[in-house]
Amino acid sequence: MTNTHRNPLAIILLSAGITVSFSSCTDHVQPVVSHPEPADSDRLYILNEGQMGMNNASIDFYDFDDGTYYTDAFPAANPDVVHELGDTGNDIAVHDGKLWAVLNGSGIVEVMDAYTMDHIASIAVPGCRDIAFGGDYAYVTSWAGAYYGGEDRLGAVYRLDTGTLKVKDRTDAGYQPEGIAVADGKIYVANSGGIAGSSGGSYDNRLIVMDEASFTAEKEVQVADNIQDIVADGNGKLWISSPGDYSTVHSGIYVYDPETGLVTVPGASEDAEDSGGTGNAGGIRVSSMTYSDGKLWVLGNENEWDFTPGSGQYILYTVDCATMQVSEHRLQETGAAAAKVPYGVWVSSGTRIFIADAGDYINPGTVYMLDSGLGLMQSFSAGVIPGHFALFSPGSAGE
């Protein structure tokens, strides 16, 4: 699973017309714009969200074999697709040799050949948000027509047949469902309630657990207000993020154990509240997270309530998923110190750490590639608001 981001700073900057300049690194590499050759080695796909309503979402990729970074690869591979990629990219994933991009503003899931990036199909899913896979299906969260300033309504989960590339069916979820994960025959859906919460009402706080076989809800678990991203750690536990309420309740990480039914907080003291009533979550601040080799990697901002440009105090946390021990590194002391708005993170077996920088949310962002010691290897010019990653390994079982 990749990451979903809803950062109020983007809205403030766009409405104010503010631009932020950022300096290049000595190891900065300009990307290649060309028709991508079929993949014969590992490549990391990067989804750039683009500005809402501008139809400028795009996909870049990094070739691990020759170190080349390709930008805006979809139109180069598909010159006959009139709509290009689409509007407002929200999630990206690789499954069964196909590349799946969730385009919230366009209301489609774009399916491509992961080897060539050739367009295969566009599947209509209104208000689509995140995607996960189980068996022969892709599961996509949807706001189901709800929007800010409009009527609030329950969201949904759409089940897409990965063979026919058509919608199989849908089922109700909570209010404004965001993150989704599939593990051990269950589907886990995080519901944010962002529409009501942003207008003075109550956020949704429920993790809905569905049976994968019957595609029906089994139970609801109260986790924390405004929960959004979910990561399964491979050991049966679900790691769930909440950005808080952006003013009085801090962001945090929560862990749900399906065996015990308990929600716990990594890094918290023994007398900390389980369900995040204080929003402290052990002191971890979170805007993006990813799982790799037994560890959760988390980007967060210690100064997350100050939306003044340049005020961010960014931390890269690592959490041992077995012991729940937390360590942290100040981003300004790493090779990504020049990042203005760290917006996404992805880790390759602990050997390379990729940090996506949204910059000013208007102009092209930057992707930083760090080594295991967090030193800068290279940085790359990306599209507008880079933030979501998906690895493609040709010939692997999980391709």
pLDDT tens digit sequence for 122-135: 999 999 999 999 99
How does pLDDT run across 235-291, given as a tens digit for each residue? 899 999 999 999 999 999 999 999 999 999 986 654 434 333 333 445 799 999 999
CB 343 within 8 A of CB 330: no
pTM, two decimals, is: 0.89
- For residue 354, the cross-strand partners are 346, 369
Q: Which of 351, 353, 367 is nearest to 317 (CA)?
A: 353
How does pLDDT run across 2-34, given as a tens digit for each residue? 454 555 444 333 333 333 333 334 477 767 766
Q: In what order do the strands lie in the sheet with 216-222?
A: 177-183, 186-191, 206-211, 216-222
Q: What is the DSSP letter of 9?
A: H
Work out the mean pLDDT of the chain and round it to a whole number.
88
Is pLDDT larger for residue 309 or for residue 335? 335
CB 370 within 8 A of CB 355: yes
| C-alpha span between 239 and 326 (Å, rounded) | 14
| C-alpha span between 121 and 164 (Å, rounded) | 10
How does pLDDT run across 200-209, given as a tens digit for each residue? 889 999 999 9
Report domain extents, the chain. Answer: 8-392
For residues 40-58, average pLDDT: 96
Q: Which two tokens stand for residue 159?
A: 């089940």
Question: 3-state DSSP call for residue 73?
Answer: helix
- What is the dotted CATH code of the domain comprising 8-392? 2.130.10.10
% of the chain at pLDDT higher than 70: 88
| C-alpha span between 268 and 280 (Å, rounded) | 8
How does pLDDT run across 133-190, given as a tens digit for each residue? 999 999 999 999 988 888 889 999 999 999 999 999 999 999 999 999 999 999 999 9
Using pLDDT thresholds of 50, 70 and 90, give the confidence band for residue 92: very high
Q: Which of 178, 67, 163, 56 is nearest to 120 (CA)?
A: 163
Q: How many Cβ atoms are within 10 Å of 166's Cβ, its own excluded?
A: 11
The dihedral built from the CA positions of residue 308, 367, 324 and 192, taken in this order, carries a sign that is positive
Instruction: State yes or no: pLDDT of 196 exceeds 70.
Output: yes
How is 92-154 classified by DSSP, letter by letter? EEEETTEEEEEETTTTEEEEEETTT--EEEEEE-TTEEEEEEETTEEEEEE-TT--TTS---E
